[in-house]
A and B are shown apart, each in its own frame.
Chain A
C-alpha cells in the first residue's frame, strides 16, 4: 500500500504541469462559477400606482460592454416613446453585475436584466441555461423562470434513450421548445454575435468558422461545407469562384496570443487550438451548422443505447479517500463519481477509474455505444499508419489533462476492437454524444509512448505529429509558427470524392488544401496586428475591433469575413412580479424591441437580429425545418408598435373594468 502511494505521488509530481494548466481554464471559466450572494435591492419600482398599471415603471439593468448598455438604452427609449412606460436604465460594472443578477433573490425585484451568453452547436445552450428552473440563482435563469412543463421538455430534448437514438425526434422536441418559448415569452433574444476575420484581397474563397478555434483550418479546406481558400495576388478576391482556384503560395496570418502548447489535451487557450487544428484531426468533423460528418472514421454508428443513470456504475466503483480541501485523492482520472457521494462532505467517495470503466463497458454497462470504423491507409506526418491503437491511446492521453473535465463528463471508455475499429462508450444516454464523444484530437500512439505527458511541443523538443493537412515546420516561441502542406495527406492521396461518401460537391473542388504553407505570426497588440494587415505583412487576422472592421469593410483592398456565431444578448422579464406575469405585457415589450435598429446602429451591423432563439450554428440539431420555424416565430419578434399598443390597450381596458 505504501509503495503504491509513493508511486502515485511520483506520477502526480510529474503531472504538476497539467494541474497548473487548469489555472487558465479556471480563469476563463470564471463566469460559470459566480454563485450569487449579492445584495438584495428593495423592490417596488414596478409597483403599479393608483391610476392603473400604466404608465408602468420599468427599470432595465445591465453591465458589461458599452454596446450592450447602448442596446438597453435603445430598448428603454423605444418603450418610453409609447407612453405606456416610465423607463430607467441602471448599469453596473460587469463583475458587480454578475454578483447582482446571479442571485435567487433577484427575481423578486421586478427589474428587467439584460445579459450576454455564449452558446455552442448544441441547441441546448440556447434554451436550457436561461429557462431551466435548475439554473435559477445560477447561470443564467435570472428572473426565476420555473415552468415544470418546460423543464421536462428541455431535459427530454437532450437526455434519455429516445432522443439519443433519434435525432429527428430531438429536433422536433427543440422545435416545440422554440414555439413554447415564443408563446410564453419569458425571454427576449435581441441579437446573435458574429465571428469575424479580415483578409486582404489576395486571399480567395475564405470563410469564417463560427468559433475562433477553427479560424484557419476551416477556411482552408472543409469539404463538408465545400469550403476552400487559395492565394492569388493577380486578381482581387471577392468576385472569384472555384473555377479561378490557383494552387500554391503562402498564407501569412496573425494570432493575438502565443500558443501555450501544441499538446491538444494539455492546453485550453484558443490560440493553441487554432494552431493544433492545422496539424491534428478527429474521428468526425462538423459543418458550420454543427452537423457531424465521418472524418478519420470512415463511418460510425450508434450500436446501442441503454436507459441508465450514473448510479449504474456503482458495482464497478472503488472507494477513494478525500482531501481536506474536499477533493478526491486518487492519481488516476476519475471517470464517474457516485452521484450520491460528496468529497467535501465525507472522508470516502466511490469513484469509477479508467480500468473499471473499461470493465463496465465490456460487461455491457454503459449509456451509449458508438462504433467507429477507421479508414485504412491514413498516414501520420511521421509516415506511420493510423490504427485503432492510436485512437485509444489518444483517449487515454486525455486522462488527467487540462481538458479532461469536458472529455470525461460524457466519455466512459474507448476500446479497440480490431486494427481499424474503435468502440467509444458514453456514460449516459445523451443526444449530444454524437458530437461530444469523438471530440478528441487523434495523436500518434508512438509519440504518446515516447513523451512525458503534456510535452508534445516544439519548446520541449518534440515535433507534434498528427494526420492533418499541414505538418509542423518551425516555431519560435512568442514569434511565429510555420507549417507546410503534408505530402501524404490522406484526403489528397485518395481524392475528396473517394475519401468521403457524403461529399457531393462540384468536381472542381480540390482534394485537399491548396495553399502550400501557412505562417502564423504572434502579434498581441491589436493595432499592430491590423497595421501589419494594412502594410501587407500579413494576409489574414481575426480579433479585430468593430470600429476597425468598419474601416476594412469600406476598403476594397480587404475582405471582412463574418459568420453568425454563438454569442447572444437577451432580456428577461420578471414574471414573478405583477404585472409581468401577464404574457401580453411581455409580448408587447418584445414587439417594442427594435432588433434591426440595434444591430445596424449599435453594433454597426456586426451582429444578427435574433428573429428566432437559435443562431445558424445550432440549426443542425435544433430544428427540423428552420424556414418553417422562422415563419412561425419571426412575426412575434418583429418591431411592431401597433401590435404592442393593442396588447397594452387591452390590458388597460381590463384594468378599468375590474376597478
Chain B
C-alpha cells in the first residue's frame, strides 16, 4: 500500500468519527432538560405561545430530535453555527475570528514543546544516568506536575511584573503574523507548551534510550558511521514514532489547556471565548466550540497516524 492510499483510507475512516462527534455534541446540549427557548420563556413571561413556536422553528428546535439534529448538521456543514442568543450575532463570525488566535497559540506552544523536548530527550538518553539526564528528568517531572494556570501566573508575575520583560495584555492591535507578536506569544505559548514539552521529553528520553540499545545502532556504529549520524539519523527517527503517538494525545491536552491559559493571559482565542460562553449560557457558541475542538482533536489524531506512517514504513503494511 502506498503512502497516499494509506492517507486516503485513514482520512475516510475519520468521517464516521466526525459523525459520531457531531451526534454527541448535539446530544449533550439538546437532551439536557430545557432548551434555550424554554429557558427564555421561563425568564420572560411576555413571550407569546405563537412566538415561542416561531422561535423554536427558527432555531431548529421544533419537531423530533433527529430532525433537529439534521437541521443543525446541515447548517453546520455549510458553516452556519446559529446565532449568539444574547446579541444575535452569528456564531461562525466569532469562530472565524477566534480560531486563528488559538491555532497560532497552539502551534507556538507545540513548536516550543518540540524545540525543547526533542533535544532535551536526546541529550538525556545519550547521557543516561549522568547529571544532565537527572536534571532533564527532574525538569520534565516538574513540567508535567505544574498546573498551567499556576505556571502562567508565575510567569506573568516574575517576567512581566517584576522584570517587565513581557507585556501582560495580548497584542490586540497587531496582526497575528507581525514579528512583534512573538513577544506576546512567548509567555502563553510557553505556558501552554510546558506540559507537552515535559511529556515529550520523558517519552523521547525513554524511547531514545530503548532505541539506543537496539542492534541496528550497534550495527550502524560497526559500519563506522559517525555518532551524529547514528543518533540523529537512525535513532531519532525511530524514537519519534512513539513521540508522534503521544503527540495526538497531547494535542487534545493543548486544546483543553488553551481554555485555562487563554483566560489567564487574556488571549482572545476559542478557549477564553468558551469560558465566556459557558458563563453566559450561550448554547450555540459552546456547541460550536465543542464541535470545532473535537474536530481538531480528531484531525490531530489523523495527522499523527499519517506522520506515524511516514516515519515508520512498517505501519503502512499492517
Residues of A at under 8 Å CB distance from B? 9, 12-13, 16-17, 19-24, 26-27, 254, 258, 260-261, 323-329, 454, 459-460, 476-480, 521, 523-525, 527-528, 531-532, 534-538
Contacts of B46 in A (CB 8 A): 19, 323, 325, 327-328
Please tell me which one of the listed residues A12, A460, A478, A537 contacts residue B273 in the complex, with CB atoms under 8 A apart. Answer: A478
Contacts known (A523-B266, A524-B266); A19 close to B44, Cβ less than 8 A: yes
7 additional A-B pairs beyond A531-B168, A536-B164, beta carbons within 8 Å, are: A16-B55, A23-B86, A323-B46, A327-B47, A524-B266, A532-B168, A532-B169
Q: How far is the CA of A480 from the CA of B276 in the complex (A)?
A: 16
Chain A nearest CB: distance from B104 CB in Å?
Answer: 15
Q: 19 A–B contact pairs at CB < 8 A?
A: A9-B54, A13-B54, A16-B58, A19-B44, A19-B46, A20-B88, A23-B39, A23-B44, A26-B43, A323-B46, A479-B268, A480-B173, A521-B169, A525-B263, A527-B264, A528-B156, A528-B266, A536-B164, A537-B168
Given contacts A9-B50, A23-B86, A535-B167, contact A476 B172 (CB under 8 A): yes
Given A328-B46, A459-B89, answer yes or no on A528-B168 (Cβ-Cβ < 8 Å): yes
Contact with A along B147-167 (1 / 0, CB 8 A): 000000100110011001001
Q: Please name all residues of chain A whose beta carbon is closer than 8 Å to the beta carbon of B167 when the two chains form the complex.
A: 532, 535, 537
Q: How far is the CA of A17 from the CA of B86 in the complex (A)?
A: 7
Contacts of B157 in A (CB 8 A): 531
Q: Does B265 contact A (CB under 8 A)?
A: yes
Q: Is B44 touching A534 in the complex (CB atoms < 8 A)?
A: no
Chain B interface residues toward A at CB < 8 A = 39-41, 43-51, 54-55, 58, 85-89, 94, 97, 153, 156-157, 160-161, 164, 167-170, 172-173, 263-266, 268, 272-273, 276, 280
Residues of chain A lying within 8 A (CB to CB) of residue B272: 478, 524
A6 to B86, CA, bound (A): 25
Q: For residue B89, which residues in chain A have a CB less than 8 angstroms away from its CB?
A: 459-460
Which of A23, A261, A323 meets B85, CB within 8 Å?
Answer: A23
Which residues of the partner chain A approach B268 to less than 8 Å between Cβ atoms? Answer: 478-479
Candidates A13, A528, A537; contact of B265 at CB < 8 Å: A528
Q: B168 contacts which chain A residues (CB < 8 A)?
A: 528, 531-532, 534-535, 537
Residues of B within 8 A of A13 (CB): 51, 54, 58
**Is A261's CB under 8 angstroms from B169's CB?**
no
User: B44, A26: Cβ atoms under 8 Å?
Assistant: yes
Residues of chain B within 8 A of A24, CB atoms compared: 86, 280
A538 and B169: CB pair below 8 A?
Answer: yes
**B43–A23 CB distance below 8 A:** yes
Shortest CB-to-CB span from A627 to chain B, Å, is 45
* Cα separation A186 to B80 with both chains bound (whole Å): 59
Complex: A137 Cα to B170 Cα, angstroms: 49
| A19 with B156: CB separation less than 8 A | no
How far, in whole Å, are A26 and B281 apart by their CA atoms in the complex? 14
Interface centre among A13, A23, A328, A538 (most CB of B within 10 A): A23
Contact A527-B55, Cβ < 8 Å, known A26-B43, A26-B44: no
Given the complex of chains A and B, what is the CA–CA distance between A325 and B50 in angstroms? 11
The answer, among A17, A258, A324, A534, for a CB contact under 8 Å with B161, is A534
Asked, given contacts A523-B266, A535-B164, whether A17 binds B43 with beta carbons under 8 Å apart, the answer is: no
What's the least CB distance linking A616 to chain B, in Å?
A: 33
Contacts of A527 in B (CB 8 A): 153, 156, 264
- Which chain B residues border A479 with CB–CB below 8 Å? 170, 172, 268
A374 to chain B, nearest CB (A): 32
Nearest B residue to A261, CB-CB: B87
Give A13's nearest chain B residue, CB to CB.
Answer: B54
Residues of B contacting A260 with CB < 8 Å? 86-87
Question: Residue on A with the closest CB to B84?
Answer: A20
Q: How far is the CB of B258 from chain A (nearest CB, A)?
A: 14
CA distance A479 to B172 in the complex (A): 6
Contacts of A12 in B (CB 8 A): 51
On chain A, the residues within 8 Å of B169 by CB distance are 254, 521, 523, 528, 532, 537-538
B179 to chain A: closest CB distance in Å?
19
Return the chain A residue nearest B55 by Cβ. Answer: A16
Q: Cβ of A327: which chain B residues have Cβ within 8 Å of it?
A: 45-48
Q: Which 5 pairs of residues, A with B, have the shortest CB-CB distance?
A: A327-B46, A479-B172, A17-B88, A532-B168, A531-B168
Contacts of A525 in B (CB 8 A): 263-264, 266
A254 to B170, CA, bound (A): 13
Which of B51, B55, B169: most chain A CB closer than 10 A? B169
Report the separation of the CA atoms of residues A460 and B97 in the bound assembly, to the nearest whole angstrom: 15
Q: How many angstroms from the CA of A254 to the CA of B172 in the assembled complex? A: 13
* Residues of B contacting A531 in the complex (Cβ-Cβ under 8 angstroms): 156-157, 160-161, 168
Q: How far is the CB of B82 from chain A (nearest CB, A)?
A: 13
**Cross-interface CB contact of B48 among A21, A23, A323, A532, cutoff 8 Å:** A323
CA distance A84 to B39 in the complex (A): 52
B45–A326 CB distance below 8 A? yes
The residue that A20 contacts in the complex, of B85, B161, B170, B266, with Cβ under 8 A, is B85
Task: List the B side residues contacting A323 at CB < 8 Å.
Answer: 45-49
A538 to B85, CA, bound (A): 32
Closest to A252 in B: B169
Q: A22 near B44 (CB under 8 angstroms)?
A: yes
**Min CB distance, B96 to chain A, in Å?**
12
Q: Which chain B positions have C-beta within 8 A of A19?
A: 40, 44, 46-47
A324 near B54 (CB under 8 angstroms)?
Answer: no
Residues of B within 8 Å of A536, CB to CB, are: 164
Min CB distance A370 to B, Å, is: 29
Known contacts being A527-B153, A527-B156, A531-B160, is A20 close to B86, with CB within 8 Å? yes
**Nearest CB of chain B from residue A358's CB, rounded to whole Å:** 23
Most chain A CB atoms below 10 A, which of B48, B160, B173: B48
Residues of B within 8 A of A26 (CB): 43-44
Cα-based distance from A22 to B86 in the complex (angstroms): 8
CB distance from B279 to the nearest CB of A (A): 9
Q: Tell me, rounded to whole Å, the shortest Cβ–Cβ distance linking B67 to chain A.
A: 22
- Expressed in whole angstroms, the minimum distance between the Cβ of B262 and any Cβ of chain A is 10
Bound CA span A13–B53, Å: 11
Complex CA gap A24/B48 in Å reads: 19
Set of chain A residues within 8 Å of B45, measured between Cβ atoms = 323, 325-327
Alpha-carbon distance between A329 and B46 when the two chains are bound, in angstroms: 8
Distance A480 CA – B171 CA, assembled complex (angstroms): 10
The listed residue (B44, B97, B266) touching A477 by CB distance below 8 A is: B97
How far does the Cβ of B204 sit from chain A's closest Cβ, in whole Å?
Answer: 33
By beta carbon, the residue of chain B nearest A260 is B87
Q: What is the CA–CA distance of A623 and B54 in the complex, to the nearest angstrom?
A: 52
Smallest beta-carbon distance A648→chain B, Å: 49
For the complex, what is the distance from the CA of A260 to the CA of B85, rounded to whole Å?
Answer: 12
- Could you say which residues of chain A place their CB within 8 Å of the CB of B85? 20, 23
Partner of B49, one of A325, A523, A532, A538: A325
Residue of A with least CB distance to B50: A9
- Specify which chain A residues have a CB less than 8 angstroms from the CB of B156 in the assembled complex: 527-528, 531
**Chain A nearest Cβ from B34, distance in angstroms:** 13
Contacts of A535 in B (CB 8 A): 160-161, 164, 167-168
Q: Which residue of B lies closest to A455 (CB)?
A: B88
Give the residue of B87, B153, B172 whose beta carbon is less than 8 angstroms from that of A521: B172
**Would you give the shortest CB distance from B170 to chain A, in whole angstroms?**
8
Provide the residues of chain B in CB contact with A254, threshold 8 Å: 169
B285, chain A: closest CB distance, angstroms: 12
Q: Which among B168, B265, B276 has the greatest number of chain A C-beta atoms within 10 A?
A: B168
- Nearest-neighbour CB distance to chain B for A634, whole angstroms, equals 43
With a 10 A CB-CB cut-off, give which of B160, B173, B266 has the most chain A CB atoms: B266
A241 to chain B, nearest CB (A): 31
A528 to B263, CA, bound (A): 9
